[in-house]
């Protein structure tokens, strides 16, 4: 898991790609203030990408919310290798962004 965000109360702390059967998945850990229910959005490097909405999942370290989404909705012929995704976490009236490069 690579560290990509800052250490603020609302922060995208880490992200990594998981290979497996089917399409690879991206797993992202988000920190949010106590009582806040963060939402995560993922965007590709340009408007040709249509990534799915990340879904909350179990297994996050204490104090974090873990999200996952399939690396789906890429332009035809695109593998995603080397592309930079923009991850945006929103909780209440606050939002933060972090960039995650796909290897």
pLDDT score at 36: 86
For the record, the structure tokens of 11 come out as: 């922060």
- pTM equals 0.90
- Nearest partner of 2 among 20, 18, 24, 22, judged by Cα: 18
Q: What is the pLDDT along the chain (103 residues), one digit of tens a residue?
A: 555 766 778 999 999 999 888 889 999 999 998 888 899 999 999 999 999 999 999 988 888 999 999 999 999 998 889 999 999 999 989 999 999 999 8
């Amino acid at each position: 898991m690579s560290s990509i965000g800052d250490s603020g109360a609302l922060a995208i702390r880490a992200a990594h790609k998981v290979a497996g059967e089917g399409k690879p998945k991206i797993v992202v850990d988000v920190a949010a203030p106590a009582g806040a229910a963060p939402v995560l959005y993922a965007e590709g490097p340009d408007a040709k990408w249509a990534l799915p909405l990340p879904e909350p999942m179990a297994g996050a370290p204490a104090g974090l919310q873990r999200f996952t989404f399939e690396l789906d909705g890429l332009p035809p012929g695109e593998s995603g290798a080397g592309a930079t995704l923009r991850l945006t976490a929103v909780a209440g009236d606050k939002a933060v962004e972090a960039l995650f490069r796909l290897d």
